[in-house]
A and B are shown apart, each in its own frame.
Chain A
Amino acid sequence: MRRSRLAVLAAVTGLLALTACSAATPQDTAPGAAGSTSAPASSGGGSRVVTVLAAASLTEPFTALATAYEQQHPGVTVALSFGSSTTLAQQIAEGAPADVYASAGESALAMLPADAAADGGREVVARNTVEIAVPPDNPGSVSSLADLADPDLDVVLCAETVPCGAAADQVLAKAGVTPHVVSREIDVKATLTKVTLGEADAAMVYHSDVVSAGADVEGVEVPAADNVVLTYPLLWFSKDRDVAGFARFVASPQGTAALTKAGFLAP
């Protein structure tokens, strides 16, 4: 009797441990997954891996740029990992393997060691502005920042700790609007998803996210007087041929073209 109870308990405890392992978000697991594939990119011979950690808002253009770079440079694999700039910067500071880091805004860079890019380099590759995203039929009839204060609307923002959340707070403060916020999501893509799923009436994301979401959302522009412009610095951490090569490729006219196509402003 006692033994069988113990056995059940042991089995259930085992399963508990199992699910606890999987209790991570995609944002959380992705960098680890990238880390496991990336021995420091060795120059020459065999398959070379360039590990790129990039802000969630860069998902679409960086995926396209990585594919293009791999095609132009056979033998090079660009391993991409996307998340909030803050989380990624923290992971790099804690020793996560990274060759290239692209941040939304400059604020997350403060978490990196001051000499992080001393061996590599740094260049601004894009700029972005804040925009309101609403579901395609705009069920909340949102047409301006002021509408977000309506208590009947569910507004979702990025967390205060990540660049898109800080930018949204800045814009709302400039406009003097206190929105009816129901959730502060962990990065800009999670924030946008709440709108594409129709769970939120409005979210404040980047203009580029509205562009890349296509027909899944509608954008409501924020007037320039209330808006902020974020720069996207790209940092690379070594002189390695492939690492510097990919970084220069992103900063090249071809890279800028891919970024502006995805809704970013040219640097």
Chain B
Amino acid sequence: MGRARARSAGWSRAVLLVPAALGVGLVVLPLLGLLLRTEWGAFAAHLAAPVVWPAIRLSLVTTLVTVALCAVLGTPLAWLLSRADGRAATWLRAVLTVPVVLPPVVGGVALLMAYGRRGVVGAPLFEAFGLRLPFTPSAVVLAQVFVSLPFFVLAVEGAMRAVDGRYDAVAATLGASPLRIFVRVALPLAAPGIASGAALAWARALGEFGATITFAGNFAGRTQTAPLAVYVALQNDPQAALALSIAMLAVSLLVLGLLRGRWMR
């Protein structure tokens, strides 16, 4: 009896373990492949390939600007959403989620239709000021903000919802203005949520490919971010592409490690 139960427990554990192990394999094997196929002896030399550093620099600058924009625009938005319950707020939340589920290439096409030279906003801008957004670093940032702002707002709104509404109420009865409540009550209490939202937004911006190549194009030093450089380098210098991939993997792991240590445990 006892043995039969033990055997059935062992069997049912195996039923869970096999798919779990396969799942781990699906994620880990490609990463291992990256590590195993890299020529480590020449790694430094490949990192010095001319495409690598301008791409990393552009990626760092644009993603940091993107995160700053997300924080400045997204934090007040998340706060207002977290304290709004009407139908309008529900719709707004749904609209803001669209870029999360939209294929990035479609996002790039949408950005062209809005800010392109014949776009809804782009055409008047071009005619009035001769301003051209596509093919500029600004376009890279616009594409990144489009895809990562929703991640930031969703994460921060969750954190702000968790801030007890009675704190705002008490602050208000003590005479604090809505702005003061936001700055002195909501921001400090939701700070860890804002930080993890910023990290998520940054990770999404760093990996952005489809919207960037569609809307901003691909030009070394100007709009060629690290993922674009990996794609192009793969065509003529696979080892440089691998070196750049490893560099991005290392940066991603670093961010993930920081996230775990600080906010996720």
Q: Which residues of A contact B (CB under 8 A)?
A: 1, 4-9, 11-13, 15-16, 18-20, 22-26, 28, 84, 86-87, 90, 154, 156, 159-162, 181-186, 190, 194, 197-199
Contact B217 A12 (CB under 8 A): no
Q: Tell me the chain B residues, 117-136 only, with Cβ under 8 Å from chain A.
A: 117-118, 132, 134-135
Contact B135 A23 (CB under 8 A): no
Rank and list the top 9 A-B pairs by shortest CB-CB distance, nearest first: A183-B217, A8-B158, A182-B135, A161-B235, A86-B235, A161-B236, A22-B103, A1-B162, A198-B118
A165 to B192 CA separation, bound complex (whole angstroms): 48
Question: Which of A20, A28, A190, A199 is close to B112, meaning CB atoms less than 8 Å apart?
Answer: A199
Q: Given the interface contacts A183-B135, A199-B116, does A12 sit within 8 Å of B238 by beta carbon?
A: no
A182 to B137 CA separation, bound complex (whole angstroms): 11
9 A-B pairs with CB atoms under 8 Å apart are: A8-B154, A19-B204, A23-B103, A23-B210, A154-B135, A162-B235, A182-B134, A182-B135, A185-B218
Interface residues on B, range: 35 or more
Q: Given the interface contacts A23-B210, A25-B209, does A18 sit within 8 Å of B116 by beta carbon?
A: no
Residue on A with the closest CB to B197?
A12
Contact B104 A23 (CB under 8 A): yes
Residue on B with the closest CB to A162?
B235
Contact A5 B193 (CB under 8 A): yes
Residue on B with the closest CB to A93?
B238
List A contacts of B103 (CB < 8 A).
19, 22-23
A-B contact count (CB 8 A): 122
Q: How far is the CB of B132 from chain A (nearest CB, A)?
A: 7
Question: Which of A7, A16, A159, A194 is close to B232, meaning CB atoms less than 8 Å apart?
Answer: A159
Sample of 16 further A-B pairs with CB below 8 A, known A12-B155, A90-B235, A161-B232? A4-B158, A4-B161, A5-B162, A6-B264, A9-B158, A22-B103, A23-B209, A26-B105, A154-B132, A159-B218, A159-B232, A160-B236, A161-B235, A185-B213, A194-B217, A198-B118
Contact B159 A16 (CB under 8 A): no
List A contacts of B235 (CB < 8 A).
84, 86-87, 90, 159, 161-162
List A contacts of B79 (CB < 8 A).
none
Q: Given the interface contacts A23-B104, A197-B116, does A16 sit within 8 Å of B135 by beta carbon?
A: no
List B contacts of A194 (CB < 8 A).
217
List B contacts of A18 (CB < 8 A).
100-101
A184 to B220 CA separation, bound complex (whole angstroms): 9
List B contacts of A156 (CB < 8 A).
217
List B contacts of A185 (CB < 8 A).
213, 217-218
Contact B147 A19 (CB under 8 A): yes
A15 to B203 CA separation, bound complex (whole angstroms): 12
List A contacts of B210 (CB < 8 A).
22-25
Contact A16 B204 (CB under 8 A): yes
Q: How far is the CB of B164 from chain A (nearest CB, A)?
A: 8
Contact B101 A19 (CB under 8 A): yes
Q: How far is the CB of A88 from chain B (nearest CB, A)?
A: 10
Contact B208 A198 (CB under 8 A): no
Residues 95-114 of chain B, each 1 if its beta carbon lies under 8 Å from chain A, else 0? 00000111111000000100
Question: Which of B104, B196, B238 is close to A22, meaning CB atoms less than 8 Å apart?
Answer: B104
Contact B264 A9 (CB under 8 A): yes
Contact B234 A90 (CB under 8 A): yes
Contact A5 B104 (CB under 8 A): no
Residues 251-265 of chain B, each 1 if its beta carbon lies under 8 Å from chain A, else 0? 000000000000010
A219 to B222 CA separation, bound complex (whole angstroms): 28
Name the residue in A19, A162, A185, A197 with the highest tally of chain B Cβ atoms < 10 Å from its Cβ: A19
List B contacts of A90 (CB < 8 A).
234-235, 238
